[in-house]
Amino acid sequence: MTSSPSDYVVGFLEGNLGLASGSLRHEVIPRDLADELTSVLQGAPSRDPSSPSIELRIKQFLAELEITALEEAGFFVRKSRWPNAAQLGVCLTHDVDNIERPMEHILKVKDRFSKADLAKAMKGELSLYDNLELIGKREGAEGFRSSFYLLSSNYRLGKVRPAARRLHSRGWEIGLHGDFGTHDSDMEMKKAVERLTGGVGIRPRGLREHYLRFDFRKSWSVMDGAGFDYDTTVGNNDKLGFKLGLATPFHPPDAGWRPLNLLELPLSLMDTTLWGYLKKGEEEGLADVMRLMAMVEEVEGLFTLLWHQEAVRMKGGRVYWLEVGEWRQHDYPWRARTEGFDAYPQNEAGDEGQGQVGVGQQEDRRRKS
Ligand SMILES: [Zn+2]
């Protein structure tokens, strides 16, 4: 059982690099890497938040380990992070902040929508802000599955229940979008989990906090204590980049530097950062998504994207469909679904017995053809 920052760092790096437990010696770990890792996990900014800087440093460390091992033993083995040794995992997530807005609001912002959608909405044939089914249909057609995080107290859960249950039964995940107060209160978290579980009949296994609210001293332990398998809150609101300098899942430490059962999937990018905070044009926003994804690919990481479901019919938000098209074209070999990350790093029991080691579930389009 680990109990010191340096023990934690050893375990973190073994997990990150796919090395056998107990194979890494304390003394070979560069001091600067250990210090930065422990300080970002306590909330300090990373040295270079514009890039996955700690992952890059770990990659450099890996190269050093390989050289030493080849000199000393003549071989070096590590588990690859993703099935088929893919360079990248892509994890698609949608916060469900709203599913409807009053007509006065819609009229005020009508230029955001296409004329056809607006006309249908005026006739009551379409709900512009409830796109769960639309996303499910279009992602499914391209072989993707994603996760939806529902607020438990902002709208009547009965209204999303049928769509949530249909999606869930077809392989999409329904998680919790943590309501106000849940990020630092065991009691509020428990209440939110109970509301969601009762309201949609699905117990959430993963979550993201509303407004990415996060307290490094409390939130992970609250989430772990509530029985979640994973969180994907830790990321930036107001700028692009990597808040922790990390881009791969890891088990955060508790107050005594023991790894929690909870897994953190660092958030790579949020849609509203592009349009709301940075006022980007659509073309520029799309380029940013691809640029950050390439940075994650460079470190063999997990690109975790937050795209609000209410935005996919709007200017800006509709860029999501272009992204889906780009991913299809590149035919990324491995697509993550957040549920199932309890098997990370990949293990044999992973992937529905299809003979591939893996976390989560994947749907490989090439297998169909
Ligand atoms: Zn939210």
Distance 346 CA to ligand 1 centre (A): 30
CA of 79 to the centre of ligand 1 (A): 36
Residues 267 and 136 in one domain: yes
Q: Residue 359 pLDDT > 70, yes or no?
A: no
- Spacing, Cα 281 to ligand 1 middle (Å): 22
Instruction: Calculate how far, in angstroms, residue 161's C-alpha sits from the geometric centre of ligand 1.
Output: 18
CA distance 23 to 16: 13
In whole angstroms, give the CA distance from residue 149 to residue 147. Answer: 7
Neighbours of 86 (CB within 10 A): 18
The answer to whether 343 and 334 have CB atoms below 8 angstroms apart is: no
- The fraction of the chain above a pLDDT of 70, given in percent, is 89
Cα–Cα distance for residue pair 299/267, rounded to 1 Å = 15
Compute, in angstroms, the gap from residue 237 CA to the centroid of ligand 1: 11
Looking at the structure, do residues 14 and 132 belong to the same domain, yes or no?
no
Q: Is 147 contained in some domain? A: yes
- Residues whose CB falls within 8 Å of the CB of residue 188, separated by 6 or more in sequence, listed in order: 179, 180, 181, 182
Picking from 38, 72, 106, the residue at the C-terminal end of a domain is: 72
Q: Does position 311 have pLDDT exceeding 60, yes or no?
A: yes
Residue-wise pLDDT for 165-189, tens only, equals 999 999 999 999 999 999 999 999 9
Residues 16, 155, single domain; the answer is no
User: How much distance in Å is there from the Cα of 81 to the middle of ligand 1?
Assistant: 30
pLDDT at 158 over 70: yes
Domain boundary (72, 97, 124) is at: 72
**Coil, strand, or helix at residue 366?**
helix
Expressed in angstroms and rounded, the spacing between residue 152 Cα and the centre of ligand 1 is 11
CA of 244 from ligand 1 middle (Å) equals 20
In a domain, 79, yes or no: no
239: domain range?
Answer: 86-368
Q: Is the pLDDT of residue 313 over 50?
A: yes
End-to-end CA distance of the chain: 47
- Shared-domain flag, residues 63 and 91: no
Are 62 and 154 in a shared domain? no
> What spacing in Å lies between the alpha carbon of 308 and ligand 1's midpoint?
8
pLDDT digits (tens, 9 = 90+) for 21-62: 999 999 999 999 999 999 999 999 999 999 999 999 999 999
Q: Ligand 1: distance of its center to the CA of 209 in Å?
A: 7
Query: 37 and 95 in one domain?
Result: no
CATH of residue 346: 3.20.20.370
The model carries a pTM of 0.90
Mean pLDDT of the chain: 88
Asked if 237 and 340 sit in the same domain, the reply is yes
Tell me how far the alpha carbon of residue 26 lies from the centroid of ligand 1, in angstroms.
40
Residue 153 shares a structural domain with residue 180? yes
Which tokens hold the place of 75? 């071989």
Q: Could you tell me which of 311, 279, 319 has the C-alpha nearest to residue 112?
A: 311
Residue-wise pLDDT tens digits, 107-136: 999 999 999 999 999 999 999 999 999 999
* Same domain, residue pair 185 and 314: yes
Q: Ligand 1 centroid vs 235 CA: distance in angstroms?
A: 13
Q: Are residues 281 and 144 in the same domain?
A: yes
User: 19 and 58 share a domain?
Assistant: yes
Same domain, yes or no: 58 and 115: no
CA of 18 to the centre of ligand 1 (A): 33
Domain end residue (candidates: 30, 50, 72):
72
Q: Ligand 1: distance of its center to the CA of 181 in Å?
A: 13
